[in-house]
Structure formats: structure tokens, C-alpha cells
Structure 1
Amino acid sequence: MEPSNNIPTPCEWAGGVEKFEQLTDAFYKKVLTDPVLEPVFRHMPAEHSKHVAHFMAEVLMGPKVYSAEYGDNALRHMVGKHIGKKLKEEQRKRWAQLLLETADEIGLPDDPEFRSTFVAHIEWGTRVAVINSQLEENPTTSEEQIPEWGWGEVKGPYEVVGSLFQKKKE
């Protein structure tokens, strides 16, 4: 989806992929010292932070760096990281809270328009991650892609991956 009237995408407004890399780098350093989150992330690979940054930037209508790395299976790869983890609401809330605190610390834009878009995506995405983490098998199909989250987006109601992620007909 191309922005109209020269309106920047949420990713551009935030400062681009590099700003999301800065965010996740600082964030995951905190995660590893957090009593609620450390048990979930203690064995994450060194590149995890960068992968999350690229996914987040792509969802917020930035460059398709994550998709370029994982190809047609990009969404399946991300969803697969959560399958069987049995995440709890306390972990989801702490993840979102710590991410937003880190966003403030690194100077992610704090204007109401950006923050409402960013927080809406984080809330929606973390809730979907908790739901997917209760599953034993990855529900994604080749007909689904990473969603785009623009200004003022509304998603849902939730379906297991499903129609929200269907590839758009060209």
C-alpha cells in the first residue's frame, strides 16, 4: 500500500528500520534481566532482536526486510516462533509495557497519532502471539502474508491467522 499525499508510513515517521533496530536492541537487553520475561527469552539467538525489529518495521509499512529474509514463509516463520510456548497474560503485559518504556527512552515519536498506531499494533500483535502460543501446530498457510498496519488501522475480530492476512489480489 503506497501512502497518499506524501504522508509518511508509520515506519518512516518512527525513523525507519534503524530506529526499530535501536528499539529492539535496547529492549531485549532489558528483557534478559526482567524476572517475568527472562525465562521465556533466555535462549533466544543473538539475531532475535534484529529479526523482531525487521518484522515490526515491515508491519508498520516499512521495507520488506523480514520478508526478503524468509520469503513466502515469512509469516509462518514469525507465527512459528510462538507455537507451543504457552505464553501467559502477565508475560504479554510485561512485554508490551517494557517495549513502550524503551520506546520512550530511545526517543521513538510520542505524538498521539504515531503512538496510537504503534500501541494498537503492539496490543493486537501481543494478544495474537499469546493465542498462537497455546497452539501445537502452526495454522498459517501459503495464502497468508505479513499484515500491514497503517495510520488508524482496525484489525479483527481475531481469527486464527485467517482472513486478516490473506494475500491481496493484484
Structure 2
Amino acid sequence: MSDNEPPAAPSPIILRGSSGGAQLGETFYEQVGGHETFQRLVDEFYRGVADDPVLKPMYPEEDLGPAAERLRMFLEQYWGGPGTYSEQRGHPRLRMRHVPFTVNPDARDRWLHHMRVAIDTLTLPPLQDATLWAYLDRAAHAMVNTFDE
């Protein structure tokens, strides 16, 4: 691979019957409704962020649209959808990308609150709801980079 080639997109999460075995059903992305579901999730999430006095200032663009698009592409790719995020932005490197921002427990909890509200609007089946929430909860906790106010 040359220095000018973008890194390959990570493989989607696919459940298999055994190591290297046949795929067991659809990807999570397909199970929850694909692009439309992730678009609705992100749109609802950023409606909450737009009015949040702690989170909104963390977004450099006045318009939250670019941030929403990046989050949607990331989530779609993570859950087995198109690899557009990596094609356009490279490896996600979530912790590195969040270093410039003060992500303390208050910011994390606000982020999780808006995400929980957004997930609840999707009315996913219980297993998919719990699976999505567990990942987002772990990811939000992993992004905390300070305990300062």
C-alpha cells in the first residue's frame, strides 16, 4: 500500500456459526433497518445536542450537519453497513479524534442522555436496542479524557 492510498475499511461485524463459518443472518445494520434507521438516530441525537450548553460548543461548525454525517457514517460502518467512513476519513481513531475536547463525566452523561432519547424514538426490538445501547455506553465512557470540570 502506498502512502497515498487510504486504509482499507474494517470488516463489518458479522455473526458466524464457527470461525470462518457461514454468516448467521443479517448484519446488525440490516437488522435495524439500515441507512434510514441510522439517519433517524443521528438526526434525533443532534436535535438534543443543538440545545445543550455543554455539548454544542464542542462542535466547531455552526451547522451540526457535518458532525451528524460523520457520526452516521461511523455508526453505519461499525454495524456492518457501507465503509464510507473509512473511505473518506481513514481509521476512526475515536480517542485521538476526541483529544482536543474536554470530555468529562458531565459531557459524557449529557451525550448519553441525548443518545438514549434518540434510541428510544427508534422503537427497536429489545435485543437490538440493548446491543446498540451497550456499545454506545461503553464508547462514551471510553471517550472521557479528564475529570476536571
Both proteins in one fold, TM over 0.5: yes
| Distance verdict in 2 for CA 1:62–1:83, change over 3 Å | same
Aligned partners of 2:44 and 2:118 also within 8 Å: yes
Residue deviations 1:117-151, cap 9 Å, x none? 111110111112223xx5xxxxxxxxxxxxxxxxx
Structure 2 matches for 1:9-28, cutoff 5 A?
9-28=27-46
Distance, in Å, in 1 between the alignment partners of 2:100 and 2:66 is: 21
Q: Is the 8 A contact 1:14 1:108 kept in 2?
A: no
What is the root-mean-square deviation in Å for CA atoms of aligned residues?
2.2
Cα deviation digits, residues 96-137 of structure 1 (max 9, x gap): 1111111222x251x221122111110111112223xx5xxx
Whether 1:75 and 2:89 are equivalent positions in the alignment is no
Matches within 5 A, 1:138-157: none
Paired with 2:99 and 2:37, the residues of 1 have a C-alpha distance of 28
1:6 deviates by 4.2
Larger Rg, first or second structure (1 or 2): 2
Distance verdict in 2 for CA 1:84–1:74, change over 3 Å: same
**Contact 1:89–1:130 under 8 Å retained in 2:** yes
Cα distance in 2 for partners of 1:99, 1:22 equals: 11
- Long gaps (5+) in structure 2: 1-12, 17-22
> How many residues are treated as equivalent by the alignment?
127
Residue 57 (structure 1) aligned to one of 63, 66, 76: 76
Percent of pairs identical after alignment?
24
Cα contact 1:24–1:53 (8 A) shared by 2: yes
> Within the alignment, does 1:7 sit opposite 2:41 as a pair?
no
Change (3 A) 1:67 1:42: closer
Give unmatched runs, 5+ long, in structure 1: 135-170
| Counterparts of 1:90 and 1:2, CA distance in 2 | 34
Contact 2:42 2:71 in 1 (8 A): yes
